[in-house]
Chain A
Amino acid sequence: MKLIALLTILIAIIFVVCLSLGPSSVGFEDVIMLLNGKADSNVKYIIIDYRMPRIITSMLVGVALATAGCSMQALFRNPLADPYILGISSGASVGAAVVIFLGIATTFNIMLSAFIFSLITAFVVYKLGETKIGVPIYTLLLAGVAMASFLSGLTSLLIYLSGKEMHQIVFWIMGGFWAARWEKVWFITFPITFSIAYVFLNAWNLNAILMGEEHALSVGIDVESFKRRIIGVATLLTSSSVAVSGIIGFVGIIIPHAMRLIVGENHKKLIPATILFGAAFMPIVDLISRTITDGEIPVGIITALLGAPFFIYLLRRAKVQ
């Protein structure tokens, strides 16, 4: 409980700090002025129409990826499982690349196409992994790996063929929040809040599934149906995130894992902690990405740079144990 209160306060502080910082000179005083209704239209535009949707998007995406990662780790009973394990990121890349390749790229088109392609990918992977006796986790994993490699081949082909639009695709894949607008926020708010609520309410069953499918069955959980629903919401969370921000790696592994070290494995505590930490973590990384240089570094690069050492740390820890 203490941790939850702490994280909530932290999120509020981060929200204000992120609103007050950026490449332009608009700062904390301007935020205060805005609250008093005294800010000019330019300041208002930067804070309300630029920074605010960006912070909210990054929070939603942080929460979504962290929660999806946490559910996948429980389902796969493997701390290295991540939200992209079903090939969703590769599907989204193809979706974005197709739109750019066809020359019909608008913010909205890319988002929609990435979203739809990632949903389709997850669905196909699920169907490929299906057997007579349900969907064994390992066949799902293999189907995901196969699909991902096929789709990244396709993405490379599209990049190769798209000539001077090439950089646009590559930049999209790297992931970031520079194109965040209110329309994106509206697009993902419902699927993400719905899915988060679902995972939150099913924390107990995630504990059961962590024991193994046979044990979950033995306490009365219809495992196949539960698995389907968790994969469904995790897909919704991941697809929504990828659609608005491209591929941001490692967040889905680092956050749940860090929380697991602090609060333990019980999902009744782990899920709320993961949600809140996801909301706190992502805007900070985004803040770094947009202030560390004159221009902007894609967030995906920063998370990858942070993620790899963390991965190695986990590996070393596992060795010691």
Chain B
Amino acid sequence: MILEVKNVRVKLGSIEALKDITFKIEKNEIVALLGPNGSGKSTILRTIFGIIKPYVGAVYLDFKNIEKFDFRQIAKRIGYLPQENPETNLRVIDIVMLGRTPHLNGFKQPSKKDLEIALNALKSVGMNGFKNRKFSELSGGERQKVMIARVFAQQPEILLLDEPTAHLDISSQIEVMELVSKKVNEGLAAIIAIHDINLATSFCNRILMVKDGKIVRAGKPEEVISRSTIKEVFNADVDVKKFGGKIYVVPKMKTRNNKNRLIHVICGGGSGTEIIYKLSEKGYRISAGVLNVLDSDWQAVMDVEGILIDEAPFSPISNEAYEKNIKWIEKSDAVILTNLSVGIGNILNLKAALKAAEEKKMFVINKTPFKERNFVGKEADELYRLILEKSRVFKNEEEVLDELEKIFG
């Protein structure tokens, strides 16, 4: 079996809905038509099924123009599932039996074999216990599975599915896609109109990205899905991640451009993690120090690609690192002292903080009493007291962020 769509142009009213669509599909393939609503995905499916006739180009099923077939012949070979589920009180089995329609003779008397095929189809989607239920009483996921059983009962060679996962919860989405996958592995082909990028990349062999009635990208998921193609087709900002052999996209936060502001964070032991991520989300550049390598705050700065002034693991802060820290404090627009604990190893961080305080750009997050965090003694107490005197003091991260927003926003 081979289905070819060749140079197809379609007009709906006066609008050119499809502009030169060309692609091919053979058995054992799932092809996704991926695009936003109104891009022409459904029109492509309806044209393949012969409902809409192209004014240029044609669809060929095994090298024969689809217009040469009547609907009954097409329905024997192509199982088309429209997007909207019916509203009906018909029983589940009556609906699945309708899949046998193209195989029945003029008097539409189904045989025992037809019933058997329908029951098997229902079983293959795991709905055999529902055969006498009214369709209208089923949940969204159950309805979709019944409709898929109806298409399976048609015993087609090609499946055309229009948004089969729309309006379904995530477990039903996966279930539906797995059913289709399984059927395709048995020797069918499937063309699925879909707008969920991650479902498309997870289950489809090939993706055709559709925009304004044109195929703008075609290929394997990893070849076509990228930040720039998603931006082009969906006009959405996303990050594309790889996980195992699959790729998936996640939405990117819309950030205000604070990129030219540098915030220095004096932290350690995890006390700075929250503020570092939040600053990064807001679009600030970040420097931090002095941190021991592999400290959890150090990890956070690495994650947000900030500037690190670091020291070997479990080593006290060297003078060299201290100087470097001071240098970045001077460069920064603001400095944040987190709710860190102070020991002999990092007391130089407090000294650096005092320097920043004297420059009037220190923001202190003071959550717990300092004496609980002081493992040095009087010297540290004195330093912290001086810092507090010359700084703006806040109870938590949110307050600091709000204040920064006021100053820089």
Interfacial residues, chain A to chain B (CB-CB below 8 A): 77, 201-205, 207-208, 210-212, 214-215, 217-222, 260, 264-266
Contact B101 A220 (CB under 8 A): yes
Chain A residues with CB under 8 Å of B408's CB are none
Chain B residues with CB under 8 Å of A208's CB are 98, 101
Contact A222 B82 (CB under 8 A): no
A204-B101, A207-B98, A208-B98 in contact; A217/B71 too (CB < 8 A)? yes
Interface stretch, picked from B85-93, B317-325, B357-365, is B85-93
Contact B88 A218 (CB under 8 A): no
Chain A residues with CB under 8 Å of B107's CB are 201
A220-B102, A222-B70 in contact; A215/B82 too (CB < 8 A)? yes
| Chain B 85-127 interface mask (CB, 8 Å, partner A; 1/0) | 0111111001100110110100110000000000000000000
Interface stretch, picked from B19-27, B73-81, B195-203, B247-255, is B73-81
Contact A218 B80 (CB under 8 A): yes
Chain A residues with CB under 8 Å of B108's CB are 201-205
Contact of B86 among A201, A215, A221 (CB under 8 A): A215
Chain B residues with CB under 8 Å of A207's CB are 90, 94, 98
Contact A266 B98 (CB under 8 A): no
When C-beta atoms are compared, the residue in chain B nearest to A202 turns out to be B108
In the assembled complex, the Cα of A264 lies from the Cα of B94 at a distance in Å of 11
Chain A residues with CB under 8 Å of B338's CB are none
Contact B86 A218 (CB under 8 A): no
In the assembled complex, the Cα of A205 lies from the Cα of B81 at a distance in Å of 17
Nearest-CB distance from B183 to chain A (Å)?
Answer: 17
Contact B84 A214 (CB under 8 A): yes
In the assembled complex, the Cα of A221 lies from the Cα of B65 at a distance in Å of 19
Nearest-CB distance from A93 to chain B (Å)?
Answer: 34
Contact of B49 among A77, A218, A266 (CB under 8 A): A218
Interfacial residues, chain B to chain A (CB-CB below 8 A): 49, 51, 70-76, 79-82, 84, 86-91, 94-95, 98-99, 101-102, 104, 107-108, 150, 154
Contact A219 B98 (CB under 8 A): yes
Chain B residues with CB under 8 Å of A212's CB are 82, 84, 86
Chain A residues with CB under 8 Å of B86's CB are 210-212, 215
Chain A residues with CB under 8 Å of B94's CB are 207, 265-266
Contact of B102 among A201, A210, A211, A219 (CB under 8 A): A219
In the assembled complex, the Cα of A199 lies from the Cα of B72 at a distance in Å of 20
Chain A residues with CB under 8 Å of B104's CB are 204
Chain B residues with CB under 8 Å of A214's CB are 51, 82, 84
In the assembled complex, the Cα of A77 lies from the Cα of B86 at a distance in Å of 10
Chain A residues with CB under 8 Å of B99's CB are 219
Chain B residues with CB under 8 Å of A265's CB are 88-91, 94
In the assembled complex, the Cα of A66 lies from the Cα of B95 at a distance in Å of 24
Chain B residues with CB under 8 Å of A222's CB are 70-72
Nearest-CB distance from A279 to chain B (Å)?
Answer: 23
In the assembled complex, the Cα of A43 lies from the Cα of B2 at a distance in Å of 76
Contact B84 A218 (CB under 8 A): no
In the assembled complex, the Cα of A264 lies from the Cα of B101 at a distance in Å of 20
In the assembled complex, the Cα of A215 lies from the Cα of B85 at a distance in Å of 9
Among A201, A212, A214, A260: residue with most chain B CB under 10 A? A214
- 21 contacts across the A-B interface (CB closer than 8 A): A203-B108, A204-B98, A207-B94, A207-B98, A208-B98, A211-B90, A211-B98, A212-B86, A214-B51, A214-B82, A214-B84, A215-B98, A219-B101, A219-B150, A219-B154, A220-B70, A220-B76, A220-B101, A264-B89, A265-B89, A266-B94
Chain B residues with CB under 8 Å of A218's CB are 49, 75, 79-82
Contact of A219 among B51, B75, B87 (CB under 8 A): B75
Among A214, A218, A220, A264: residue with most chain B CB under 10 A? A218
Question: Which 3 A-B pairs rank lowest in CB-CB distance, beginning with the nearest?
Answer: A220-B75, A220-B102, A204-B108
Give me 7 other A-B pairs in contact (C-beta within 8 A), A207-B98, A210-B88, A219-B75 excluded.
Answer: A203-B108, A207-B94, A214-B84, A219-B154, A222-B72, A265-B89, A266-B91
A204-B104, A219-B102, A220-B76 in contact; A211/B71 too (CB < 8 A)? no
When C-beta atoms are compared, the residue in chain B nearest to A218 turns out to be B80
In the assembled complex, the Cα of A218 lies from the Cα of B148 at a distance in Å of 12
In the assembled complex, the Cα of A274 lies from the Cα of B162 at a distance in Å of 36
Nearest-CB distance from B340 to chain A (Å)?
Answer: 63
Contact A220 B72 (CB under 8 A): yes
In the assembled complex, the Cα of A179 lies from the Cα of B384 at a distance in Å of 111
When C-beta atoms are compared, the residue in chain B nearest to A321 turns out to be B136
When C-beta atoms are compared, the residue in chain A nearest to B87 turns out to be A77
Chain A residues with CB under 8 Å of B70's CB are 220, 222
Chain A residues with CB under 8 Å of B49's CB are 217-218
In the assembled complex, the Cα of A24 lies from the Cα of B284 at a distance in Å of 102
Contact B90 A221 (CB under 8 A): no
Nearest-CB distance from A261 to chain B (Å)?
Answer: 10
Contact A264 B82 (CB under 8 A): no
